[in-house]
Amino acid sequence: MPNKHIKVTVLGAAGGIGQPLSLLLKLNPHITELALYDVVNVPGVAADLHHIDTDVKISCFMRPENKEEENKPLQEAVKNSNFVIIPAGIPRKPGMTRGDLFNINASICAELATFIALNAPEATVLVISNPVNSTVAVFKEIFVKHGVFDAKKLFGVTALDHVRSNTFLSELIEGTLPNHYDIPVVGGHSGHSIVPLFSQSKGDVSLKILNDENILDALIHRVQYGGDEVVEAKQGKGSSTLSMAYAANKFFNIVLNGYLNLKITELASYIYLDNAIPGVTELKRDLKPLLDSQHLEMPEFLATPMTYGPDGVAAVNYSWVKAMNGKEREMFYIATDFINQNVEKGVSFVKA
């Protein structure tokens, strides 16, 4: 077992995702310190987790009433963090889109990004707060402003789309379980920007599904709008929290295993397509003729499968671009248009 000191900070730790995610992190043998920050209710969550007899040390930080002291807890929470995971912000209610969360959540993200830039500029940052397609752009712009942006270390967490794809597909194919599949999902994280590549599964997907347009369309729609299924079932009491905590923990463990040089696993996440990242130039090279044919701009950010290492992203996998079938390419064009608009919203928010 590596004995590196690993500090993980959760911002929004008292929320619907923050609590179960913090529980999963408290069980992680590689973590030394788990810092929990929220603007409300976090002492109770921290006291509760503290009683669990695992070696992870819990520390707790809450924004005080006193304006003069307001910044200190957040500074302390993020200081010296190796990883900061952010499920802070409001969730959807029935009838809302993720875009409707933008104004409130972009302000929260901009504030948190500023504190990270000033107090933990080297940290690897995992953004859960919606709308991910835009909030990650907010983080990037704030980091650039502070001169600390490293594209290899900023991730929008889109793992829930992959988790849902595996689950929903297995339900359609008798005798298979979700862990038989490893569906790559590219694009972004909302509605039509989510592009599950069922034709590129690591576990064989029955041709019966891939060739039956009605079944395949229904499956794709279920993945793209899986979030709505939970929002409606919760009847105004929030969105996915438990499955999201699971997905964030799955993604975090893959990033952590890369960071600790323990194991290389591929999983998609939403990143800024910086040419300095291995595989990005090739990804853009292969995307360009496709996008040009549709008069679409190259997206600045994209969820794409990649591997992770000690410095964050190790390499982007671009083989999926040429392997997309006609239907997947059509979906990708629609996704690109959405993503470009969503990114623009995040960038203009910070610039304004």
Ligand X SMILES: O=C([O-])CC(=O)C(=O)O
Burial grade of 238 (CB within 10 A; 0-12, 13-18, 19 or more): middle
Strands 154-156 and 185-187: unpaired
Q: What is the DSSP secondary-structure string of 13-70?
A: TTSTTHHHHHHHHHT-TT-SEEEEEESSSHHHHHHHHHTS-SSPEEEEEE--S-GGGT
> Minimum distance from CB of 286 to ligand NAI (Å)?
27
CA dist 29 and 158 (Å) reads 24
Q: Is 342 flagged in the annotation as binding?
A: no
- Ranges within 298-327 binding ligand X (CB under 6 A): none
Which string of x and - marks every residue 146-175 that binds ligand NAI (by CB under 6 A)? -----------x--x---------------
Catalytic, 146? Answer no
CA dist 120 and 76 (Å) reads 10
CA dist 306 and 291 (Å) reads 21
Which string of x and - marks every residue 100-139 that binds ligand NAI (by CB under 6 A)? -x---x--x--xx---------------xxx-x-------
Candidate list 189, 192, 221, 295, residue with the active-site label: 189
> Minimum distance from CB of 156 to ligand NAI (Å)?
7
Residue from 10, 17, 34, 231 touching ligand X (CB under 6 A): that is 231
Instruction: Select from 13-21, 52-60, 136-144, 196-204 the region that touches ligand NAI (CB under 6 A).
Output: 13-21
Q: Is 16 flagged in the annotation as binding?
A: yes
CA dist 45 and 41 (Å) reads 7
Q: Could you tell me how far CA 123 lies from the centroid of its own chain?
A: 16
Q: Taking CB under 6 A as the rule, does residue 226 contact ligand NAI? A: no
Q: Is 254 flagged in the annotation as binding?
A: no
- Binding residues for NAD(+), as ranges, are 12-18, 38, 105, 128-130, 244
- Binding residues, as ranges, are 12-18, 38, 92, 98, 105, 128-130, 164, 244
Q: Which residues bind ligand X (CB under 6 A)?
A: 91-92, 98, 130, 160, 227, 230-231, 239-240
